[in-house]
Amino acid sequence: MARRTSLDWFTQRLYHNTDRMLARTSFPSTPMRVMDHVEIDHGNGLLDRIARLQVDVALSLEDTYAAMRTAIWSTLRGDNAPVSTTYLDHEMVESIDVNMYYQRMRTPTNNCQYNVGREFKSHDRIVFLVGNVRPAADPNATHVGWRSRLAWYILERLGPLTTRVRVLLYNAPCINANGEYMTWHEEHCKIDCSFCHVPEADRWTTHQRFMDDYAAMYLTEQWHELGLHLLPTVPS
């Protein structure tokens, strides 16, 4: 019962914070096409990193939903990720919402991540979301670090034949195996040890170039995974 309540509460909380997250990450309200990243600076070298995608599709909300739902769910679940996936507590999760899942993803190095995803549908907006939760005790898993990862995929009716598609991918600062937050500089050095030797005056610019390239690559992959290249879009 406690897990059922916590998973329901967690996904409801993400859903009810959809508008807050869109505002906090400065999504435009105009029909501007967006494929970029932004950061929220918490000081002391700690950054939230957010990838943003926005495009207006020249279809009704219903037709956009029909065209994209399968691809969005596949992306939420990580169907193509090179990991072993186990779906947990199926009956309990289905008793909350049939459009919901709880999973454990195990990497080849035996690192585990637990995710919960859900779909919320109203007349003018459909929100698909996923977030990870702190791993349960698992003596067979290797937990090398953890960060909060959240994602919203939003379809919103703008008119009879126009739907705004937004993707918000949120990454909090990493917490290492000792339970300590890692700065953006420490995280970058972990990814690329040569970054540690970049002169301090050039580090932020170098880091931003890296993030620009990574976000462009990842969001282009998302564009194709979601099938947006197959849909009619509204010029921005």
The residue among 198 and 35 whose pLDDT is bigger is 35
Q: 60 near 160, Cβ under 8 Å?
A: yes
The dihedral through the CA atoms of 31, 37, 225, 220 has a sign that is positive
**Where does the pLDDT of residue 109 fall: very low under 50, low under 70, confident under 90, or very high at 90 and above?**
confident
pTM: 0.94
CATH label, 2-230, candidates 3.20.20, 1.10.3470, 3.10.590, 3.30.530: 3.30.530
Helices (H), the chain: 2-16, 18-24, 61-77, 90-96, 184-191, 200-225
Instruction: Give the whole-number percent of the chain exceeding pLDDT 70.
Output: 96
pLDDT at 192: 86
- Residues 6+ positions from 118 with CB-CB distance below 8 Å: 11, 15, 97, 99, 100, 101, 128, 129, 130
Q: Is residue 146 scored above 90 in pLDDT?
A: no
Q: Is residue 141 scored above 70 in pLDDT?
A: no
CB-neighbour burial class of residue 195 (10 A; exposed 0-12, middle 13-18, buried 19+): middle
pLDDT at 140: 53
